[in-house]
A and B are shown apart, each in its own frame.
Chain A
Amino acid sequence: MKKLTSAKAKEVFEKMSDIRNFENTLHDIFAKGEIPGFVHLYAGEEAVAVGVCSHLTDDDYITSTHRGHGHCIAKGCDLKGMMAEIYGKETGLCKGKGGSMHIADLDKGMLGANGIVGSGFPLAIGAGLRNQYLETKDVAVCFFGDGAANEGNFHESINMAAIWNLPVVFINENNTFAESTPQHYSSASKTIAERTAAYNIPGEKVDGKDFMAVYEAAGKAIERARKGEGPSLIECHTYREYGHFEGDEQTYKYDSDEENAFHERDDVKEFRDYAIKKKLFTEKVAKKIEEKSLQDVKDAVEFAKESPAPQPEALYTDVFAD
């Protein structure tokens, strides 16, 4: 696997900063009542999306979850188009017809955030099947939470990926809670990674707050899939900064010292410190990236606010292809 270059490290920090700022901004905007519907924020899990998507091109596919903003940004979706979508505007990536939970950009290989927990698994199988069928070297990555690991699709899809040796990588974002229910309560297996033994594919648990741990594990798994050596799973243990959705009081959190300590960790800051220490970029460069990111998110909000709502006729279009 390629070493993390200085250029790549900057790109990584840009993406991680964009996700954090995008989500922090949404947190504030939602509190002010400026956006309709539900939003599920990705802040705190940046190391996972960016650690994985740093190995992908636009020709690789990803499936996402209800907590999908981070995956979109990591896969290269436009911040303005995303923000406008969340505002329900005509200029949104989906013309305002999808919203936060359905942002998609097929040109970027982003097969959509997904409001149904566990439904991304088979979509990734389909994309993997397509890659194998057309004899490409592209892969499909399926992001899923600890809650989704208890859906039937988890088992059916991993089994199919394994028997057909598909180029699919399953990335579990174990952020400790499925909505408000802790993983230790809802899973009979201690880890999600260990379940892969039953399907005879590699499974590994990594520290999901540690960018380099995710980056290295994902790099190996993706390379393996590209070479036609089949699927694998990585469980990334992480923790979300905010609640399940905005407005969640989160009374279920902070059950142990261990959990508190984990919650204290900031994956974006940890990567920043690491990169500066390893001389991948300087403090000055980091600050510049942070400033640009803040400005880009601000510009995205302005763009979204100024954009028109969809035309009334849009209600009726896009049900069928002609």
Chain B
Amino acid sequence: MTVHHDCDVLIVGSGAGGATTAAVLAEAGHHVLIVEEGPWVEQGSVVPFSLDQMDQQYRSGGVTVALGMPSIAYTEGRCAGGGTEVNSGLYWRPPEATLDSWRIKYRIKDFSTDDVLSICEEVESTLSVQKVPGEHTPASDILRRGADRLGWKNDEIPRWMTYRDGAGATEGHRQSMTRTYLPRALAAGARILCEHRLNKIVRSGRRAVSAELTDMTAATDGQNAVTISFRDVIVCGGAIQTPAILQRTGLRHRVGRTLAVHPTVKLAARFDDVVNTPDDVSVFQVKEFAPNISFGGSASHPGLVALALTDNWRDFGSAVTSWPELAIYYAAITSEGRGLVQVVPGVRDPLVTYRLTKRDRDLLGQGLGRLAMVMLEAGAKEVYPSFKGAPVVRDRADLAAMTTMFAVARASVMTVHLCSTAPMGDDDKRCATDSHGLVRGTDNVFVNDAALLPEAPGVNPQASVMAIAIRNARRYCADRAG
């Protein structure tokens, strides 16, 4: 038995791009249906940054990798609300210089910096973006203290959180998509089908006409087929799934060829006191070397501390019993390298590869060294860099030795910021879509998520994703009204 649905607009994915798009379109009167591969998980029902959360809300349990030398581990949210449900919730407006550069380089029409920043203001209001009114976690204070002692620029990054007056960092309530834009969309008449996996978008010439899905909640295989007919489809599956969906639909022009990420390397640092707050991350970032290199804090559950020590277990392993005194930090870079997302016939998941340039490798080494310096200045007794063969760093002499020993091929490189696999703009040679997300070669297939960002913005990208998605959704409504 096949279940059939009809709608004006099918939105594939419910994260930062999909949820905002759905709210704008539904409130403009369009009959919107959202399909989401993952489940709807209420905030607070799973422990943040835990393996349980990874099981429920991440694709492949959080174990996904872009192959290369070295390979880069990455994560994708796979749940209602997407990455906004599981990430740190840190909010950065896109830098003005970045927006200016994108507009010129990719020939993006109607893309004034003022307009985008004006939408950012609306997003900040909707998501209650704010700084922590009360005390910060010890892990946050470490970054601030270390950077201050070095005279390096650092700042608290606001988050999409609500707090009662004077509440501390761990007492906030995350204002993710399931708390904000998705309820707005649903209140305006949109529907959402969770745990429905898109198999195929069916085209007739330049038009997509229907979608074939699998209802993963159905008890038996014979009862899980779903088809959806629509006027337009907007793909918002994120920077990995969106290009895979487009390629499987036969749309390949500049699709999946320019994956951009912020590669990061990590270390664990040990202090005299308890500094580990397992369920939260640092809200401070060090921007002295931005946009090339930034430092921040990572989730530090005891399991993740063990993970950070794994590469040198013989030398570092004994520290694991002191995990309450350890916290994990990262150095992230803006990368000149690029990656590929390619579907392989007969295989469900795309092949993802990424190649770091020599400059990227050098920056990662510099970043790790400077991050270790911040830790030592903040009072770390021991620093454990995450690369095979790394020494324990206790002082500046160890730091110098560590810097010379660093080789990115032996490092655990990872990222949580992925974008640019279907870049937007009127430059046909660079861009997969037009300036508002319409996929080239089609009349009714749009992209509206991180895949559109022409490059990695050098800051947490979800504010950029939301602002651009709202901009494009409004343009869509204006065009369809006309």
B and A form one assembly: no
Give residues in A with beta carbon < 8 Å to B: none
Interface residues of B (CB under 8 A from A): none
